[in-house]
A and B are shown apart, each in its own frame.
Chain A
Amino acid sequence: MHTDRTNRLALTVFGLIVFLAGGFGLTASTGGFGTAYAHRALLANRLGTYIGTHGDWLWPAAAAACLLIALIALRWIAALLLSTDRASDITVTRGSRQGTTIMHPAALSGAITREIETYHGVATARARVLGDPGDPALVVTVTAARSADLAALRHRIESHALSHARHALGEPGLPVQLDINVSNRTPERVS
């Protein structure tokens, strides 16, 4: 998923802040910053004094920062709930004389899926077109039967189905992620 890195980074930063805040609190509480500090009130420090004396501009600045944080967090929520990493319609251009073709990603993924599923030894296949329509990438997941010759199957997928996909999009360098799985189903024995 495209927000995975953002999620992980944000949660790591959050975890670090929480951990450091707890560490600071416990250190201050147990006298790590001196016995006098441990007996002081929470706000009786330089930071508290600074905020107290510069509150006239500091709090509006904090509110502005909060507005920025809220907007970023809202965008993050929107990305988590609404956006998809799937590509939208792809424009295929094959020279000025031949015009342009608009290809729906589902048409391409459907064609690839159907082609691969006709190959011997394939149980199921799934294809997705991801990324920017101008720079798409293809993700193909193939579940092979246990009895399948995986090397031959992979060669066939790469030289036929993936080659057809690249040709259809007019992109010989189309990045493809091919994941091969093996079916869990035990083949029925012939008695």
Chain B
Amino acid sequence: MRVINRPLALVLAAALVVASVIVIIEVIAFIAHAGPVVVHWPAWYRWAAKTSWNALVIRVWSVILIIAGAIVLAFELKPRRVTRLKLRSDEKATDAAMTRKGLAGTLRAAALEIDGISKAAVTVRRRRARVAATAAARDRAAADALREPVAEAARQRLENLQMRHPPHLRVRVLPRSR
């Protein structure tokens, strides 16, 4: 988001400068009784004086503006994805946090430490962490038996981290497919 906002902001700022300079030039030229300098605004004026609101061109441009505005608004007002999950700290001036990827990595490592787990994928959201582990065995019962050890290992990791708001843990262990 931040990465895209910067070039967008740059384009908007540059457009504002260009538009403002054009208005200043044209106003000065008009006061000095000179003709249009940069843009031929009298043609625009004549077009606006004879075009009515119900013209097709107005409808088309209105729809374009609504869509463009809605896209920009949706993009800017969409809540940012959580990247830092805060940790408890004794020092008031220290704002310690675990990155979302870091937490996923450590929970994945905890799951992989359990004997019988061959793969694990972790997704971390603001309030929820989901561990999807794959057992080395093809047997469903064996996979189910590993669920609690994996959950316990992940829970232990979360406790050790002393998170301010630990995410709700959800663990699933599937048997190896083939």
Interface residues of A (CB under 8 A from B): 1, 3-4, 6-8, 10-12, 14-26, 28-31, 37-44, 59-60, 62-63, 66-67, 69-70, 73-74, 76-77, 80-81, 143-144, 146-147, 149-151, 154, 158, 162, 166, 173-184
Contact = CB atoms under 8 A, between A and B. Distances in A.
For B13, B58, B84, B92, which residue has the most chain A Cβ atoms within 10 angstroms?
Answer: B13
A106 B55 CA distance: 62
Nearest to B45: A43
Interface stretch (B65-73, B129-137, B166-174): B65-73
Nearest to B66: A22
A73 B17 contact: yes
Contacts of A16: 69, 73
B66 to A, nearest CB: 4
Given A42-B48, A66-B23, A151-B161, A173 B93 contact: yes
A173 B97 CA distance: 18
Interface residues of B, number: 70
Given A3-B6, A76-B13, A77-B13, 4 more contacts: A19-B72, A43-B48, A151-B161, A181-B98
A70 B67 CA distance: 27
Interface of B is mostly: helix
A166 B94 CA distance: 11
Interface string B111-129: 0000000000000000000
B69 A18 contact: yes
Contacts, number: 222
Contact of A29 (B6, B54, B72, B160): B54
A183 B53 contact: no
29 contacts: A15-B75, A19-B65, A19-B73, A22-B62, A22-B64, A22-B65, A22-B66, A25-B61, A28-B53, A29-B53, A39-B53, A43-B45, A43-B49, A66-B21, A70-B16, A70-B17, A70-B20, A73-B16, A76-B9, A80-B6, A146-B106, A162-B91, A166-B93, A179-B99, A180-B99, A181-B101, A181-B105, A182-B103, A184-B101
Nearest to A148: B106
Given A23-B66, A37-B53, A178 B94 contact: yes
Given A150-B106, A181-B102, A18 B65 contact: yes
Interface string B71-100: 111011100000010010111111111110
B38 interface: no
A181 B66 contact: no
Given A17-B69, A29-B54, A3 B9 contact: yes
Contacts of B103: 182
Contacts of A180: 87, 96-99, 102
B13 A15 contact: no
A-B residue pairs, 9 tightest by C-beta: A19-B69, A22-B65, A15-B72, A25-B62, A182-B105, A22-B66, A18-B69, A66-B20, A70-B20
